[in-house]
Structure 1
Amino acid sequence: MRARRCQHTDDLLSWQPPQVEARFEPTRVRSATPSGKVCRALSEAMKEDGRSREEIAAALSEHLGEPISRDSLDAWASEAREASNIAGYRLIGLVSVLRSKELLNELLARTDMIVVDRKYRPLIERQLMEEAQTRIKKMIQKVDKEWKGLK
């Protein structure tokens, strides 16, 4: 008689840790220039959103309180139209409308920073506090050794 295979083994072995840094597929946003990367990332974020560019433009118009057209979105996402860079406040508005951490992380790719969900803030702050506590304990141990040496 053949042994029954464990139904849970595959699940355990195929487990992957959650992805902290939201990113696009690298081949989808590859570009030779930083401005081209911005265009590719904007385009990819709008594709992943699922809404039409007209719907995104309407949502961004409402969010910013100023008219934004589909043509503007097309220009910002076009590598061929480098003179049509998106303004910073509009970029932040678009990130908000699209809810795209991936977009910001692509723009930060050449820095030492990433965008993570706000829900992780307490965990990050706790880690920073633990690191500070470790440094303080080491300082106390150093002072204690000095003090004991003076007795």
Structure 2
Amino acid sequence: MRRRDTLTEDLFDWQPPKVVAGYEEDVAGRGALDNRISRTVAKALKDAREAGKTRAEIAADMSRYLGRTVSEDMLNKWSSEAATHRITLDAFIALIDATEEFDLLGFVPSRFRYVAVPEAYRDLIVLHLAKQKQEEMNRFVEKLEADQRTKFKRGRS
């Protein structure tokens, strides 16, 4: 009987780290905008609860952050698709702060086909864009040089 190596990781099991903030399409991607907002808030509250933070704690943290009262009832309304009252932008920011559910950050940019990424990746993105531009310029220079060689050859014949 062969014993399985438990010390070596399987390379095929590796998944790249998540670098883009946001929820899956089923949470925030379909339906009316107010429903998508509610589902996004509900998902953040659920994930925070699974991480050990109650709605009462979240409401208290948001209240401190905003300098005004946020109640559990307000959280319940903001996370209900049936409610007509939606979360305000400042409360949305306070919710991110209170829950540390940074996938919330991806909600607005995703509506416009943008993404939110951690600041640590900014320089890598700029580097990639600079390399793309450099490659474009190299192709441009190569074309100019080829055109000049062709013109030079025609002029000599």
8 A Cα contact 2:34 2:81, kept in partner = yes
CA displacement at 1:4 relative to structure 2: 4.5
Distance in 2 of aligned mates of 1:69 and 1:27:
27
Distance in 2 of aligned mates of 1:133 and 1:26:
35
Alignment-derived partner of residue 100 in structure 2: 99
Question: Residue 119 of structure 1 aligns to which amino acid in structure 2?
Answer: A
Alignment-derived partner of residue 58 in structure 1: 60
TM-score by length of 2: 0.76
8 A Cα contact 1:31 1:37, kept in partner = yes
Matched, 1:20 2:19: yes
Alignment-derived partner of residue 83 in structure 2: 81
Structure 1 pair 138/75, CA: closer, same or farther in 2 (3 Å)?
Answer: same
Task: Give the gaps of 5 or more residues in structure 2.
Answer: 153-157
Distance in 2 of aligned mates of 1:134 and 1:99:
39
The structure that has the greater radius of gyration is 2
Question: Residue 135 of structure 1 aligns to which amino acid in structure 2?
Answer: E
Distance in 2 of aligned mates of 1:3 and 1:67:
62
Distance in 2 of aligned mates of 1:15 and 1:71:
41
Aligned length: 149
SS at match of 2:10: helix
Distance in 2 of aligned mates of 1:25 and 1:142:
44
RMSD, aligned CA: 2.6
Greater mean deviation of Cα atoms: 70-79 or 29-38 = 29-38
TM-score by length of 1: 0.79
Matched, 1:43 2:42: yes
CA displacement at 1:10 relative to structure 2: 5.9
8 A Cα contact 1:31 1:40, kept in partner = no
Greater mean deviation of Cα atoms: 113-122 or 27-36 = 27-36
Distance in 1 of aligned mates of 2:101 and 2:60:
17
Alignment-derived partner of residue 145 in structure 1: 146
CA displacement at 1:45 relative to structure 2: 0.3
CA displacement at 1:145 relative to structure 2: 2.2
1:54-108, Cα deviation, whole Å (9 max, x unpaired): 21111112222222222221111111112x1111222122223322232233455
CA displacement at 1:109 relative to structure 2: 4.4
Task: Give the gaps of 5 or more residues in structure 1.
Answer: none
Distance in 1 of aligned mates of 2:90 and 2:147:
55
CA displacement at 1:130 relative to structure 2: 0.9
8 A Cα contact 2:27 2:36, kept in partner = no
